[in-house]
A and B are shown apart, each in its own frame.
Chain A
């Protein structure tokens, strides 16, 4: 069973996603904050991380994502970022590291995620990173 770590402070959203992912036999772990998430990641390395952009403060999710990507041990973990990113213009996956517009995640999508879309994105990211 592949392990998915969800880092999001909305307990209802998290529970809904957990139900959906567990129905497809993923092992789901939860963290309610960025710090908790990083701790959990180091304790038991997940195959994929689902990260909410807005926790406590706006864009906290980006800081967490950058920390993960800068850590050589964990930078290969695919990150799926949640919430409305389209509002911020100029963000582009194609940008290089170091650019302030660098989006340190592998995919993003708007909340709420329909169950089929969530499964599809998770499957796709895992296949891409663990061929």
Chain B
């Protein structure tokens, strides 16, 4: 009945409780020190410190336990760990209270904190059961001290008369204690219940939105395929004419047919890019394989250099020798990097410089592509990865870009659990950085 997200949230909250308990250990020790040594109350110092130490020890044990079951958590196991932590905390508090005044100890109020924590971590029934356990512990301390079975550690400096035998006092405190705990649990569980309902509704809406997005993408795919089919026929018929295969044309015919063929080719390029990005958005995962990054990039550089030569642009490439094979969707990465490099060449004027560097960052690799190109206006840098977006100064260099290249790149890199970002200075150049996990997934 618990979704994966809810279970993850519960585990997170258990870690939070462990952190809280660390603070509690310190606070308890400080309080014992202050009241016992500084204020010089007559306290049972040794038992009190022992409890603080026990608290710290089982806190550590729970921490280790959570790490041990990591990856194999089930709702029942985590629930049991949560219940165990709370019950042990209640027991510790009860023992602490017993050794420091019993029913006279104002720290009895602190049981409320545990009720709130229980209401956050557990379901309503379990919270009420924990409340009942706390009340049982409370009465155990009171009754056993009353009957002398347990000795009473009176806080002489705090309270004038030993109240442990005062029936009116006992009844009063007990009534308030019991009602406070049950009311606290009721209030807190009501709130968390409502919050959890909201969380579930949001999750359901998210899934719905994802499905709607899929429907939209499938629609785009169908429409685009239809367009591509007709466009193919048009291009197929135009090209033989434009290429002279059907015979010679007069200059006017040739010119117009050339223009038509050229525009058709551009449209086809656009349609193919649209198909590609829509397909990527629909796919939930991609096939990955191991390959040598160095070889892939060297091949790309070879291809790029031939284009760069025309503009007399120098292309340099370094890769840290520690980088070996990486796991990724080879063709997608190849295409993304080609896109980035070709972009750099396109938007770098003659005699420019392009630098490609690959760094080893432990479980990640960092690819940097720097150029001395026209740069990107500062306020447009966050938008360049948006679909169909073209920077204002890009149009002067290339009139009809698709505006899809970078958004395809972003989708591909994000499907690899990587990051891609750009830094740039207008007129000076740009640097595109790609961070990729070596194994295709992020490691902790």
Contact = CB atoms under 8 A, between A and B. Distances in A.
* Interface residues of chain A: helix, strand, loop or mixed (majority): helix
B144 interface: no
Interface residues of B, number: 16
B232 A13 contact: yes
Nearest to B287: A89
Contacts of A13: 232-233, 236
A112 B268 contact: yes
B233 A20 contact: no
A100 interface: no
B243 interface: yes
A21 to B, nearest CB: 10
B235 interface: yes
Interface residues of A, number: 17
A98 to B, nearest CB: 23
B382 interface: no
Interface in A78-127: 87, 89, 111-116
A10 interface: yes
A16 B287 contact: no
Contacts of B240: 16, 19-20, 23, 115
B239 interface: yes
**For the complex, would chain B's binding face be called helix, strand, loop or mixed by DSSP majority?**
helix
B229 to A, nearest CB: 8
Contacts of A113: 236
A115 B239 contact: yes
A42 B236 CA distance: 28
A12 interface: yes
A29 B239 CA distance: 21
B279 A87 contact: yes
Contacts of B246: 19, 23
Interface string B219-250: 00000000001011111110110010110000
Interface string A1-32: 00000000010110111011001000000000
Given A87-B279, A89-B287, A115 B233 contact: no
Nearest to A11: B233
A17 B246 CA distance: 12
A114 B239 contact: yes
Interface of B: 229, 231-237, 239-240, 243, 245-246, 268, 279, 287
22 contacts: A10-B229, A10-B233, A12-B233, A12-B236, A15-B237, A16-B233, A16-B239, A17-B236, A19-B240, A19-B245, A20-B240, A23-B240, A23-B246, A89-B287, A111-B229, A111-B236, A112-B233, A112-B235, A112-B236, A112-B239, A114-B239, A115-B239
Interface of A: 10, 12-13, 15-17, 19-20, 23, 87, 89, 111-116
**8 nearest A-B residue pairs (beta carbon):** A16-B236, A112-B232, A12-B233, A112-B236, A111-B232, A112-B235, A16-B237, A23-B245
Given A12-B236, A16-B236, A16-B237, 16 more contacts: A10-B229, A10-B233, A12-B233, A13-B232, A16-B239, A19-B240, A20-B245, A23-B240, A23-B245, A89-B287, A111-B232, A112-B231, A113-B236, A115-B243, A115-B245, A116-B243
